[in-house]
């Protein structure tokens, strides 16, 4: 069955947005919805709530609010795991070793400025879609109805 995930091009990689979007299409995803937005502090904190308390949390919120982000809803079979595979490990150095074709290997600068984000679960994706795009309904082909 079709599944949705949320992909975010982070401020450090918005300059390579077109190349990343090419990779999204090559990897069989449909971009069901998309918007460029400057995340507010409140939204960034909510988005990364599960990381609150980590030593990098303040830097993370700072980075994600430092400039525009490009947020997309991607549809595909097995979209959540599939997109995580395309982006690769959190740390670009690790990505270069373990998944050299991944987006973080190609575009990530360091573990914080790692170019792209992907939802960790389908549930987290649904919550994020609702928050950022509202109540979207998806057709069986993954487009928005
Ligand atoms: P992301 O997959 O968007 O989810 C959480 C983010 O926190 C992660 O990508 C990185 O940008 C950041 N992050 C995770 N671990 C670290 C770390 N050890 N140091 C700095 N930033 C981190």
Q: Which tens digit of pLDDT belongs to each residue from 39-77? A: 999 999 999 999 999 999 999 999 999 999 999 999 999
Q: Which tens digit of pLDDT belongs to each residue from 100-122? A: 999 999 999 999 999 999 999 99
Q: Is 111 in the pocket of ligand 1 (CB under 6 A)?
A: yes
* Rounded alpha-carbon distances, angstroms, from residue 62 to 38, 48, 143: 12, 12, 33
pTM reported for the whole predicted model: 0.95
Q: What is the Å distance from ligand 1's center to 53 Cα?
A: 13
* Rounded alpha-carbon distances, angstroms, from residue 27 to 12, 39, 126, 145: 22, 27, 21, 23
Mean pLDDT score of the chain, rounded to an integer?
Answer: 97
Does the pLDDT at position 136 exceed 90?
A: yes
Residues 6+ positions from 47 with CB-CB distance below 8 Å: 39, 64, 128, 131
Domains of the chain with bracketed CATH: 2-133 (3.30.70.141)
Atom number of ligand 1 nearest to Cα 113: 11
Atom number of ligand 1 nearest to Cα 120: 2
Residues 6+ positions from 121 with CB-CB distance below 8 Å: 80
């Amino acid at each position: 069955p079709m599944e949705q995930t949320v992909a975010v091009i982070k401020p450090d990689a918005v300059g390579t947005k077109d190349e990343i979007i090419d990779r999204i299409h090559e990897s069989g995803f449909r971009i069901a919805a998309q918007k460029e937005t400057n995340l507010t502090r409140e939204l960034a904190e909510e988005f990364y709530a599960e990381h609150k308390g980590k030593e990098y949390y303040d830097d993370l919120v700072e980075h994600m609010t430092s400039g525009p982000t490009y947020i997309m809803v991607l549809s595909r079979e097995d979209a959540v795991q599939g997109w995580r595979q395309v982006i690769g490990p959190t740390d670009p150095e690790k990505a270069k070793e373990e998944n050299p074709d991944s987006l973080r290997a190609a575009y990530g600068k360091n573990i914080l400025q790692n170019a792209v984000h992907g939802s960790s679960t389908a549930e987290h994706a649904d919550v994020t879609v609702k928050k950022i795009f509202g109540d979207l309904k998806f057709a069986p082909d993954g487009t928005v109805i």
